[in-house]
Chain A
């Protein structure tokens, strides 16, 4: 099965700074790479995703970059705000017709005002 590692496990940044979270995966057939944000006690919420035929995708302050050769993808948040404080999960989709997301252990992001 897919092995997913996410780093760092915790991240504190000053408001306005950038945050980067990295995810590595093992299944070379993985072809879909989403990032989810989860606030305490709430549902995981999709914030951005990328497919394997694209190297980078941006949505306002959030971007995802993919390196399929190295089997890693990263979440970039610029101009962080206190409401960005949450746990972020990467969840690559296993390839070969599977629709099973394998979640990383999460990164707790704290944005200090």
Chain B
């Protein structure tokens, strides 16, 4: 157990819908990262937040957005969902040794 939690574990929804994925970092970690894992794209970095502020963006679609709240948990919002958005979404957190990222169990999203 990495100490990073994610909810829900599974999510099934329809095209065009909007979902919210939630992540709680390890105690004391200020950084939260979101990654998408799909069969064709592999593991891709989406976005990084540090203590509530966006720090870096990767291959994140405009339909996707994220935020980090004062209690340091983070949410990833996916809207206007398409079939191709079906993937595993992981969040990771880092703290003292800032490079070392610990991953949560992931949310498996299926868009039908």
Q: Do A and B come from one complex?
A: yes
Ordered by A's residue number, 7 sampled pairs between the chains whose C-beta atoms are within 8 Å are A93-B99, A99-B98, A100-B45, A100-B56, A102-B45, A103-B45, A106-B42
Question: Do the beta carbons of A99 and B102 come within 8 Å of each other?
Answer: no
Chain B CB within 8 A of A20 CB = no
CB under 8 Å from chain B, chain A span 11-54: 32, 34, 36, 41-46, 49, 51
Determine the distance from Cα of A29 to Cα of B42 in the docked complex, in whole angstroms: 23
Contact check, A44 vs B45: say whether CB atoms are below 8 A apart: no
**Contact status B105-A101, CB under 8 Å:** no
Q: A residues within 8 Å of B by Cβ? A: 32, 34, 36, 41-46, 49, 51, 89, 91, 93, 98-106
Is B14's beta carbon under 8 Å from chain A?
no
**With the chains together, A105 CA to B99 CA distance in Å?**
20
Docked Cα-Cα span, A110 to B72, in Å, equals 39
Residues of chain B within 8 A (CB-CB) of A49 are 99-100
Q: Knowing A32-B99, A99-B31, A100-B48 touch, does A44 contact B56 (C-beta < 8 A)?
A: no
A99 touches B43 (CB 8 A): no
